Structures are given as structure tokens and as C-alpha cells.
Amino acid sequence: MTSFSSSFHLPRHTFLWRNRYRSNLLWTQFCPFLLNRCCRSDFVQKVTRASWRHQHTVNDKLALRFPLDFSCVRSYYLARTLLSISDEDRPAKRLRKSLNHRQWCQKKPSSNTNSPSRKTSQSPLSEVERQWEDFSHISGRCQSLKGRFFDFSVMSYNILSQKLLQDNAHLYKHCSLPILDWNYRYTNIIKEIQRHNSDIVCLQEVQEDHYETQIKPSLESLGYHCEYKKRTGKKPDGCAVVFKQDSFSLVSCHPVEYFKPGIPLLDRDNVGLVLLLQPKVEKGITNHLCVANTHLLYNPRRGDIKLAQLGLLLAEISHVAKQSDGTTCPVILCGDFNSAPWSPLYHFIRESKLEYHGIPMGKVSGQDDIPKGQRILSAPLWPQHLGISQQCQYEDPTSNGDIRNCEGSRINGRPCIEHCLNLTSAYSHHSSKRGQPEITTCHSKRAMTVDYIFYSAASRDTSLKSGTQPQESNVLSGEGLHLLTRLALFDETDLHAVNGLPNANNSSDHLPLLACFRLHNLQTAAT
């Protein structure tokens, strides 16, 4: 029996369906089915050869203006054509007319469509304003660059690589094509950075060609010094750390590669970047500040790889941040950790240790409510010849330590990993407005928190636990950083109001995180 897709004739069938069923709803339900059947046969190739033979230059311009997969654009054209057919137009003639690139770009979207997704993605949306949450009344009023304090601001922002956007176009089907164009997105991203004017900016998913030709020159014109590390594999993006040259000077820069040949656990191309900065002040402050930026593996099933990557980064931070007197300078750790709040990986950063033995790998990052797979973590978490101890410190890989040293310390007889950094999150991960979870990334499939700004808290009691504020009695306790302000995040209700991310005002599928800190000058305080 001949299949439907190989035997039907498009103009005849569209004409019959359109006249027999006048309901727009039924027509819009039929079109996706029709498109699906068409794409399984040689129909698309026939239409392409017949109608696009003379439009090579138009296709090239289209690919430049809307850099999505050509097959996706072609399918979009076909769907738009079928939805716009009228009773008076012959379908074949309408198809040829709709393939005019300039007419399609200039044509306004139809207002009588019954598809809510089309109506939402094309309608103008007002921007929801983010509010600053102020904690400066606890640490005292701002005395930036004067006296005992040095105040500075930090932004962490995953700007969404254009190549990754193209490779994962199904995640952005709620967006209209023009707002996904790189030139449109780039303008918004630079405006966002310029508007907040942060002293330190940590960027993830920075595409190398865009960084060299557009992003770096723009940021340098704004007074930033730029450092960049590309991923080690074929992916064209990487991490960047930029800072205001009138606020900091660069002491040293340390790229971190998570790919280690010969170690199966570390066979991915993610990277990190660690900088040691010196605040620029006239007098008084001699402390260094260690700033780290990373983008960990996405794969929710491979929590073992994520922990190993994090262990490598923490070892590098511990090495760079160590001062001549044996203490550790304050640390800012930013990035996309692809892990949910209160997940085991998050707890490891916050609590400085993790009892990992027996945890399913799919639960380490907390990305999936129902983790897939049954593999569990076992000791030791990474091999000894990696040169990283279970305390996340560099060690001689040729040393012959016993099994207990390889497995690290133990809690209740169970192996665990540790680090020596006193880190807490700048965000509480719950919206103060409605009590809903805060969101840092949102696309067509999910909305959750995966981006963080961790910092060395001046006192462990200043941790912001589930919306609580720092305690006033701990303001001057110990060396470290105090949180002054932070830019509040959205919850899912707010993001639904602006059609998710990206949108006309926010040109990434991640929101930028911003916080202001106060660095204490203990030497001045002691005198």
C-alpha cells in the first residue's frame, strides 16, 4: 500500500482541507501533521529544487541574518506558508510568493491566528524591573576606596553562545527569530554590562570569534582588562573574566583545563579561569582578591565528572589564593555550575565537605527530579595520579600514600572530599516577593537556578540561608568579604510575564547575577 506521504499532492490536498474544514483551529492542528509527513518524503527537496533554484543569493543573506540551521528555516517557511493560505490563492502560487526573503522579513505577524505561542512570541512585552536588595546597613555605609574598606561589584553572566543556540534551536521555539539574531543579542548584552558597570565581570559561553572581534574591543573601550580561556575541544566558546583597570591590577592569571589525557573521568572540554587581583587604592589595603570563573559539564547523569572538575578548580583556587603567611586571601567564585541549590554539589561548595560514597551520579547536580541510571559514586572519587588530594589540594602524583589518604577523611566511617575555602552564596535562592524558587536560566523546557556567585564570608554566620540576612553582631569578625547589595532574581511567575528567556530585553537564556561586596583591610583595622 502506498504511504500517505509519498502519494499526496500538496496543492490539491491543501485546497480540499482548507475548503472542507473552515475552522482555523482544525487547520492549524492539521498543518504540523502535514509538515511532519512532508519532511519524511522527498517533498521538501522537490519544492527546494523547483522554487529556490534562482534564489542562491537570497539564501546566503538569510543565513547571515538568521543564523539557524538551514533545515529549520526551510521548515519554518513551509509551516508559515501553509498557515497563511487563503481560499482565493492557489497554494502553489502562494508558496512561491512566501519564499521571498525581503517580503517575509518586512511582513508583520498575523493578528488572527489562534496559536497562543505565535501570539505570545510576537507581541511586544514590557520589561520586568529587577530590584536591588540592600544589606549595607549591616556592614555600615559605603566608604568605597577610603579608610578601612574597599567596595567592589561583581557580575556573573552566561551570555549564550550563538553556536550553542543554533545547535539547540528546539529550546528557543518560544522566541521570534529576530531576537535570536547575534547582532541583536550582542547589542543588548553589551548594554547590560555597561548599564551595571560592575568592577568584575565573569562571563560564560563566550564564543571565541565574537570575543576577539566584538566583545573584547567593546569591553576594553569601557575600561576593562580582559582575560579569556577557550574550551579545549571543538566547541567554540569559553570563559572570560574582565575587570575595571581603575579598580584592580592583575597579579597573575591561571587557566584551568578539565580535560586530562589518560584519565577517563576527565575527558570533557570544560574549562575554568582563576585570576589574582590587587585592589587599586591610595593607601591601606594590601590584600589580594582571587576571582574564579567556570562552566561545569551539563550532563545531569555524570555527577562524578562534575565533582572531579570542581575538585580541580578548587585545588587551583587554593594554590593561587594562598598568601605568604599561609592564610588564604578572599575568594570570589562565579559560574554556571549546572547544579541546583541544595544539591550535593552545591552543599560541597557551601559546607566545604561532601560524604559522597553511595550517592547516585544522577543526583549530584539535582538537575533532574527523577535521575536516570543506577550508577553510584565510589571511593576514591578521582585517581591518585591526577595529582589532586581528596582535600582538593595539589600533591605529588608519584607519592605513595596509603589508601586512607587517597580516600580522604571520613565521616562516620564513610569517605568524603573536602576543601579549605570558606564559601557561601550571595543569593538565598528563594524569592522574597512570593517565596518561590529564584530562577537564573529559563528556556522552552525548564526554569531553574544553575548560576552562582560564591564568596569568602567574613564569618560563617553571614551565610544567607534561605532568605535570611547577615547578623549585625558579625560585621567585623574575621578576614573576608561582606555582602552589601545584590540584584534580585526573578521567579517563574515573573519570567512567564516576559515570555521566558531570551526575550526582547534579555538576550540570553540566563539572567546576570550582580552583587556588591566590602573587602576589609585587617592591617588598617589592627592599627
Is the pLDDT at 332 greater than 60? The verdict is yes
Residue 87 lies in a domain: no
* Distance of alpha carbon 387 from the chain centroid: 29
Tell me how many degrees the CA angle 452-458-460 measures, rounded to the nearest 5.
75
Is the pLDDT at 480 greater than 50? The verdict is yes
**Better-predicted residue by pLDDT, 114 or 159:** 159
Number of domains in the chain: 1
Nearest to 294 by CA among 336, 346, 231, 236: 336
φ, ψ dihedrals at 64, nearest 5°: -75, -40
CATH code assigned at 184: 3.60.10.10
Question: Do 504 and 177 contact (CB within 8 A), yes or no?
Answer: no
In this prediction, residues 152-178 reach a mean pLDDT of: 97
Is the pLDDT at 170 greater than 70? The verdict is yes
**Better-predicted residue by pLDDT, 255 or 467:** 255
pLDDT band for position 127 (50/70/90)? confident
pLDDT band for position 432 (50/70/90)? confident
For residue 494, give the C-alpha cell.
Answer: 515573573
Q: Which of 370-374, 465-469, 480-484 has the lowest mean pLDDT?
A: 465-469
Is the pLDDT at 492 greater than 60? The verdict is yes
Residue 96 lies in a domain: no
pLDDT band for position 382 (50/70/90)? very high
Separation of alpha carbons 297 and 366, rounded Å: 13
Is the pLDDT at 204 greater than 70? The verdict is yes
**Better-predicted residue by pLDDT, 311 or 410:** 311
Q: Who contacts 206 (Cβ-Cβ below 8 Å, separation ≥6)?
A: 159, 161, 215, 228, 237, 238, 239, 240
For residue 255, give the C-alpha cell.
Answer: 587557566
**Better-predicted residue by pLDDT, 98 or 291:** 291
What pLDDT score does 407 carry?
Answer: 52
Domain of residue 159 covers: 151-368+377-396+408-462+476-520
Residue 456 lies in a domain: yes
**Quick check: helix, strand or coil at residue 368?**
coil
Question: Do 423 and 485 contact (CB within 8 A), yes or no?
Answer: no
Strand 331-336 relative to strand 289-295: parallel, antiparallel, unpaired? parallel
In this prediction, residues 298-318 reach a mean pLDDT of: 97
What pLDDT score does 216 carry?
Answer: 98
Strand 289-295 relative to strand 410-411: parallel, antiparallel, unpaired? unpaired
Residue 275 lies in a domain: yes
Q: Which of 87-91, 151-155, 296-300, 391-395 has the lowest mean pLDDT?
A: 87-91
3-state helix, strand, coil in the chain (%, to 5): 35, 20, 40
Q: Which of 2-16, 58-72, 262-276 has the lowest mean pLDDT?
A: 2-16
Share of residues in the chain with pLDDT > 90 (%) = 58
Q: What's the per-residue H, E or C state across 126-195?
A: CCCCCCEEECHHHHCCCCCCCCCEEEEEEEEEECCCHHHHHHCHHHHCCCCHHHHCHHHHHHHHHHHHHH
Q: Which of 74-88, 285-299, 473-487 has the lowest mean pLDDT?
A: 74-88
Q: What are the beta bridge partners of residue 242?
A: 201, 226
What pLDDT score does 281 carry?
Answer: 82
* Through-space distance between the first and last CA atoms of the chain, rounded to whole angstroms: 93
Residue 35 CB coordination number (10 Å)? 18
Is the pLDDT at 291 greater than 70? The verdict is yes
For residue 457, give the C-alpha cell.
Answer: 564570608
**Better-predicted residue by pLDDT, 523 or 117:** 523
Nearest to 342 by CA among 318, 364, 357: 364
Residue 359 lies in a domain: yes
Separation of alpha carbons 477 and 469, rounded Å: 16
Residue 255 lies in a domain: yes
Q: Is the overall model pTM greater than 0.95, yes or no?
A: no
The pLDDT tens digits for 133-163 are 999 877 654 444 445 689 999 999 999 999 9
Average pLDDT of every residue of the chain: 78
The pLDDT tens digits for 51-106 are 444 444 444 444 444 444 444 444 444 444 444 433 333 333 333 333 333 333 33
Query: How many residues would you count in the chain?
Result: 527
pLDDT band for position 521 (50/70/90)? low
Residue spans of beta strands (DSSP E) within 302-345 = 331-336
What pLDDT score does 115 carry?
Answer: 32
Question: Do 351 and 463 contact (CB within 8 A), yes or no?
Answer: no
Residue 138 lies in a domain: no
pLDDT band for position 408 (50/70/90)? low
The residue assigned the cell 561586596 is: 517
Residue 156 lies in a domain: yes
